[in-house]
Amino acid sequence: MKCKLYPVLLLLLLSFSAVFAQQPTDTTTTDSIKNAKLSITFGKYPKHREGVYVTSDLSGMLSFASMKQDGEHMRNIPRFSFIFNYSTSFNKDFSKNFGVFTGLNIKNIGLISKPYDSLKLKQRVYTLGIPIGFKIGDVTGGTFFFFAGGSVDMALNYKEKQFVDGEKVHKFNEWFSDRTPLLMPSIFAGFRINPGFGLKVEYYPQNFFNKDFHYTDKGNKIYPYKNTDANLVFVTLGYNFGGIEYFKVKKKRHYMKMKNGKAEFEVNY
């Protein structure tokens, strides 16, 4: 370390051969020596990104459902949704290998089922969610890291389409519908690689439908989902398109910066 400092000390002696007084500052991160024209600052680069930073994500979701009607398996079809799945995350890294995150997301989740050969149902709900999770790996450089956590989504808008023999016969949508639970928890895990692509698997343990939902038809209460069970699993491919400029750790972490007017000079060691 002493040998590495010799060029720095030589620069100091040459720069201050005409200086008679010095005023050192007391700080844990940098030490500065200044006069009217010249300033010299010593410091150390951080090992990881400091503070809270924001990232954004747009993703496509492939959903699978485990469905039962009256205890018997119900045929269903994988469903893909791209519009509109968007999230904003607030990240905090505690080291170059560990960090946490939370945020807000909008998701288009749902399923496609075939209760009968002639009948097909498309049912989806838009949700607003708050995820909380952690990440392990190269969270500073972003080359590769794992993440996991949980989320609570609030159902906003429910939409259903009914097809008979391939022909759409009915559709409707409801805001804050009672057909699904208002709050829908989930757990997730995945990984992300540079320059921002990520793969995530998410599971909703709660029934997608509200079994207590009913409506009245000719004076009779109808419970359309009383005997229906549906649990969703999503495979999500996403891309961070905002705030993805990962922090790069410098190999030489110490620096000396000299500034004289508009001219600047920096030495790393």
Q: What is the pLDDT of residues 135-149, one digit of tens each?
A: 999 887 778 999 999
Read off φ and ψ for residue 120, nearest 5 degrees.
-125, 135
d(CA 226, CA 219): 18
Q: Is-contact 215 43, C-beta < 8 A?
A: no
d(CA 177, CA 182): 8
Buried b (16+ CB within 10 A) or exposed e, 40-53: bbbeeeeebbeeeb
d(CA 88, CA 98): 19
Q: Which of 133, 228, 239, 225 is nearest to 186 (CA)?
A: 133
Domains assigned to the chain:
2-45+251-268 (no CATH), 52-242 (2.40.160)
19 band by pLDDT with thresholds 50, 70 and 90: very low
Query: Within 10 A of 246 (CB to CB), how many other CB atoms are there?
Result: 17
Higher pLDDT, 204 or 26: 204
d(CA 247, CA 140): 5
Q: Is-contact 161 121, C-beta < 8 A?
A: yes
d(CA 201, CA 235): 5
Q: Which helix (H) or strand (E) holds 170?
A: strand 167-175
17 band by pLDDT with thresholds 50, 70 and 90: very low
Higher pLDDT, 151 or 24: 151
d(CA 148, CA 188): 6
79 band by pLDDT with thresholds 50, 70 and 90: very high
For 27-36, 47-56, 185-194, which range has the lowest pLDDT when averaged over its residues?
27-36
Joined together, the tokens standing for residue 152 give 């609570």
d(CA 85, CA 240): 12
pTM score: 0.73
Higher pLDDT, 266 or 187: 187
Res 246: pLDDT:
57
